[in-house]
Structure 1
Amino acid sequence: MELRFELKKLQLKETFSIAYGNYDKREALLIELSYQNYKGYGECVAIDYYQIDLQSFILKLKEIQHQIEVQKIVHPREFFKSLLNLNLHTFLLSALDCAFWDLFGKLENKSFIELNQIPSENLMESSITISIGEIEHQIQKIEKSNWNKFKVKCKGLNKNNIKKLLGLNRNIALDSNASFTDDDCVWLQENIEVQKFSYLEQPRPIDNYQILKKEGFANWMADEDCQNLDSVDELIPYYKSINIKLMKCGGLTPALEMIKKARELNYKIMIGCMTESTVGISAGCVLTGLVDYADLDGANLISNDYAQGNFVENGKIILSQKPGLGIELK
């Protein structure tokens, strides 16, 4: 097996504004695993609020390249076990795990969905993100959009803006990226109108969720608070829903485990994304048959997508039906 990797620049169609900052571009690391003329792809991106340094990932890949390349072609779950011995950051772990699932499926001539017997009909629609801005501008974007589901970013709580969004009678979620105060959270979870929002994502900074009550009217969804399998148990009293992102948890293999456990614990589940190309989004799309919400608009936000595969069109998840994750470079 051969391992290759390359840095890519992702240019956003417009400035993306969230509580953590404003962004015009992202840097991505493309992973390619090849064997017998078949190529599998995975990706991770540099996210500053996760302290991701892709240069350190490249140094790590050079260090472990031989260990990866001497691996035999085994089932992806066995390959993932071998990766766990290499002390990898979850973002890099995810890129390698997804690339191997893509390669393995192509070698077997079976899609990830076939290999894991995942439903592929009547998939949840994805939301599209409305970045921070004047409320009138956000509403205008929603009303002009061909999408049906929206995730509106906000920085702090503006009660008048909340009322305006609720008055639209559209499928809207809120994401404050940890910018709500304890008082904001109490007001929201005690306000019956707030149950009209499909979910309210990551209201407080990491590990500051004790004010949240899942019995309230707010469908609190954990994002940064839900990093891995262990956190699913800890969050039960506080959150009704969790956002599983492949880069956070380490790839498709652990995501399948998290989904299984979250179902057992009666969570609602979302498969989410970062700002990613179709390489990353294709991996997320294959899990949509197992979840309640999808937020997979990452590739729709960039102007220079370098891959094709599974994709999202006006919110609808379109599966390529091709082997592996269906990823091809343009």
Structure 2
Amino acid sequence: MELRFELKQLHLKETFSIAYGNYDKRDALLIKLSHQNCEGYGECVSIDYYQIDLQSFVLKLKEIQSRIEAQKIIHPEEFFKFLLSFNLHPFLLSALDCAYWDLFGKLENKSFIELNQMPSENLVQSSITISVGDIDNQIQKIEKSSWNKFKVKCKGLDKNNVKRLLQLNRNIALDSNASFTDEDCIWIQENVEVQQFSYLEQPRPIHQYKILKKEGFANWMADEDCQNIDSLDELIPYYNSVNIKLMKCGGLTPALDMIKRAKELNYKIMIGCMTESSVGISAGCILAELVNYADLDGANLISNDYATGNFVENGKIILSQKPGLGIKLK
């Protein structure tokens, strides 16, 4: 098996604004695992909030490259156990895990869905993200869009803006990226009208969720508070829903376990994404049958997508049906 990796840069179609800041591009690390003329791809991106240093990932890959290349082709679940011995950051672990699933499926000439005997007939629709901005501009984007589901970013709570969004009578979620105060959260979860929002994501900074009451009117969804399977039990009294992202939890292999456990605990589940190319989005799309919500618009927001595979068109998730994760570089 051969391991190659390359730093890339993803350019946003327009400036993307969230409560944490504004950005026009994202740095990405593309990983390629190859064997017998088959190539598997994985990806992770640099996110300021998570203090990701892709250069340190490159150094780590160089350090472990010979051991990975010496590894025989085994089942992806066994390969994941092998990867755990390197104590990798979850973002890097995810890129390697996804690349190996893609490679393994191509070698076996079976898709990820076939390998895991998963259903794929009733995929949820994805939302598209409306970044922080003037409420009139946000509403205009929603009304002009051909998508059916929207995640509206906000910085702090403006009650008038909330009312205006609710008046649209559209499928809208609200994501404050931890910018709500305790008082904001109390007002929201005691306001019956907020039931119209499909969910309200990560209202408070990480670990500051004890003001939340899942019995209230808000469908609170944990994002940054829900990093991996160990988070789930602790969050039960506070959150109704969880956002599972492959990079946060370490890839497809742990995501399957996390989805299973979240269902056992009666959470509603979203498969989410960062700003990613079709390499990362293809991996997320194949889990869309297993969850209640999807937010997989990352590749739709960039202007220089360097791959093809599973994709999202006006919210509809379309699977390539090809072996592995169906990823191919342009």
SS where residue 227 of structure 1 aligns? Answer: coil
1:196, CA displacement in angstroms? 0.3
CA distance in 2, matches of 1:125, 1:229: 24
Aligned to 2:64: 64
Aligned to 2:166: 166
Aligned to 1:17: 17
Q: Deviations over 1:88-114 (max 9, x none)?
A: 000000000000000000000000011
1:122, CA displacement in angstroms? 2.0
The question of 1:8 aligning with 2:8 is answered yes
User: What is the TM-score with the length of structure 1 in the denominator?
Assistant: 1.00
Aligned to 2:35: 35
Aligned to 1:252: 252
CA distance in 1, matches of 2:117, 2:258: 17
Aligned to 1:297: 297
| Equivalent runs, 1:172-321 vs 2, <5 Å | 172-321=172-321
Aligned to 1:86: 86
SS where residue 161 of structure 1 aligns? Answer: helix
1:48, CA displacement in angstroms? 0.6
Q: Between the two proteins, what is the percent identity of the paired residues?
A: 84
Gaps of 5+ in 1: none
CA distance in 2, matches of 1:218, 1:317: 27
1:43, CA displacement in angstroms? 0.1
SS where residue 209 of structure 1 aligns? Answer: coil
Letter in 2 for 1:18: I
CA distance in 2, matches of 1:235, 1:119: 28
1:119, CA displacement in angstroms? 1.3
Aligned to 1:113: 113
CA distance in 1, matches of 2:23, 2:51: 15
SS where residue 178 of structure 1 aligns? Answer: coil
1:87, CA displacement in angstroms? 1.1
1:198, CA displacement in angstroms? 0.1
Q: Deviations over 1:33-72 (max 9, x none)?
A: 0000100000000001100000000000000001110111
The count of corresponding residues between Structure 1 and Structure 2 is 330
Letter in 2 for 1:109: N
CA distance in 2, matches of 1:117, 1:46: 33
CA distance in 2, matches of 1:117, 1:135: 44
CA distance in 2, matches of 1:190, 1:47: 33
1:117, CA displacement in angstroms? 1.5
1:242, CA displacement in angstroms? 0.1
CA distance in 2, matches of 1:16, 1:161: 19
The question of 1:136 aligning with 2:106 is answered no
User: What is the TM-score with the length of structure 2 in the denominator?
Assistant: 1.00
CA distance in 2, matches of 1:216, 1:74: 47
1:293, CA displacement in angstroms? 0.1
CA distance in 2, matches of 1:46, 1:131: 19
Aligned to 1:101: 101
CA distance in 2, matches of 1:3, 1:23: 31
CA distance in 2, matches of 1:25, 1:34: 28
CA distance in 2, matches of 1:17, 1:188: 23
Gaps of 5+ in 2: none
Q: Deviations over 1:141-176 (max 9, x none)?
A: 000000000000000000000000000000000000
1:288, CA displacement in angstroms? 0.3
